[in-house]
Amino acid sequence: MSHPHPELGPPPPLPTGGLRIVALGGLGEIGRNMAVFEFDGRLLVVDCGVLFPDPEQPGIDLILPDFDYIRDRLDDIEAVVLTHAHEDHIGAVPYLLRERRDLPLVGSRLTLGLIESKLTEHRMQPVKVEVVEGERRRFGPFECEFFAVNHSIPDALAVAIRTPAGIVLHTGDFKMDQLPMDGRLTDLGGFARLGAEGVDLLMSDSTNSEVPGFVTSERDIAPVIDDVFRTAEKRIIVASFASHIHRVQQIMDAAEKHGRKVALIGRSMVRNMGVARDLGYLHVPAGLLVDSREIEEWPPEDVVLICTGSQGEPMAALSRMANRDHPIRIAAGDTVLLASSLVPGNETAVNKVINGLSRWGARVVHKGNARVHVSGHAAAGELLYVLNLTKPSNFMPVHGEWRHLRAHAQLARLTGVPDENIVIADDGVVVDLVDGQARITGAVSCGYVFVDGTSVGDITDVALKDRRILGDEGFISVVVVVDSTTGKLTGGPEITARGSGIDPDALDGVIPQIEAALQEAASDGVADVQQIRRAVRRTVGRWVSDTYRRRPMIIPVVVEV
């Protein structure tokens, strides 16, 4: 990964009494959040999440942080602190535990409940350390104090990390909803107390740093949901993140009010809501839930389906419904509610789903035409509030793309943090806090690790480039048979094209050029298979480019006899 300091080399040894911070994800991107803290030879990890692929990464399921930096030091890790249970903060934990199974996982009750449920699918039993807001725990040289923060999932925490190098406050993802669904406010009093004690480095969520003002309260969408239920003619189908327990609670409350039954669709939705219900974070009225397999037996006007697929994921329930590839068939009069934000890059996929649902006669209610979602991340006004409360000596924006990090850094400047004390880093950049000053001191290797099915880390950028070419331009294969001694053509060429948009009959036009190129190579004494392949690829590539202005993948196969 690139960063704004391309000249950086490996960092020097950490000075005695200094604290080192290396983000292995979450900087310059939204997702894959993971930060490693080092003091006196010991390590503390905060979060371990995944990044979801974009269309430029075909066939990829997940993107993990690069564990190479810590792979040889797994025994030095005291604990893994998980700020909350969203996939971009816990999704890579199963892959980290493959490296060392007994890593202690530290988090709130709900966070640990959801990660334990996830790890059951991986046949792992985690070592759990449950903490609550207001609690202090020591892990080796790291004393951690936990603070309640409000987010779009219950039980989120910020963590203050105390070492002799100073106090670092890591906010995790947060907002400052003053009327949260669960009554659990962000602990601004605790932040202010830390500020009075002296925050040496603030690491704060940057996702909404470009959005002015304050985020709308979660409660403000309740009237919109109620209106959707009141005006719906037949079934209501709600698509939400499988972790948005507050949103699911609002839907269930509305269903009970309007006399509708609720069915949960999708494995992750059923699993997460089961955990939330068992732990007391989701209140389900008696008799409200029905099995999804029985839903067709109920009158359409009496049911609500809650499913995944709000981001247009092709295999999620909602996308399959839109494509008529799901047992539940969308019908005229159905109402579909997309109760989530739109993750950047997913616009095309979501619009495709909306169009597919509309085609079958559904009314689609989404963020573009109704207030059916509020963000879980603090806007600029809230970020300024936290900066002024904590009065940090040094500031490092985290969790956001480059524009978000830059905007957050500007907010810090406005509150009086000196430019030389504002650190904008990238994944893999090493930040050392020494004698009260945070500085960039080097960089470590930190790339993408791709998960493709059961394959982890085997797919390279070169392989992805090949996939993109195949998807966009198709391929042409050319089989030639040559004399192993002289390199002269003795059979073929046979040419096959797939997905290239080239008329198969037109391929005959390049055969004489291939024959001429191989004859010339043989006369020059070329008998090496690799050189013959290059000659074939070059000849066919030039012909396709000149004739069709296309660049398919060209696969020469040379058989020696």
Q: Are 158 and 189 in contact (CB under 8 A)?
A: no
Q: Which amino acid is at 419?
A: D
Was 170 annotated as part of a binding site?
no
Omega within 30 of 0 (cis) for the link into 512: no
Tell me the backbone φ, ψ of residue 126, rounded to 5 degrees.
Answer: -75, 160
% helix / strand / coil in the chain, to the nearest 5? Answer: 35, 25, 40
Residue 41, CB-side half-sphere exposure with 13 Å CA sphere: 1
Was 399 annotated as part of a binding site?
no
Tell me the backbone φ, ψ of residue 119, rounded to 5 degrees.
Answer: -70, -25
Distance, CA of 244 to CA of 154 (rounded, Å): 8
Residue 558, CB-side half-sphere exposure with 13 Å CA sphere: 20
- Reference 203, options 64, 36, 403; nearest CA is 36
CA distances from 292 to 1, 88, 308, 383 (A): 44, 28, 14, 42
- Reference 484, options 536, 531, 527, 533; nearest CA is 527
| CA quadruple 66, 69, 72, 76: dihedral sign | negative
Q: Quick one: three-class SS letters along 383-418?
A: HHHHHHHHCCCEEEEECECHHHHHHHHHHHHHCCCC
Was 238 annotated as part of a binding site?
no
Q: Are 32 and 70 in contact (CB under 8 A)?
A: no
Distance, CA of 535 to CA of 540 (rounded, Å): 9
Was 375 annotated as part of a binding site?
yes
Residue 185, helix vs strand vs coil: coil
Distance, CA of 408 to CA of 202 (rounded, Å): 12
Q: Which amino acid is at 414?
A: L
Was 408 annotated as part of a binding site?
no
Distance, CA of 247 to CA of 264 (rounded, Å): 13
Annotated binding-site positions for substrate: 373-377
Annotated binding-site positions: 373-377
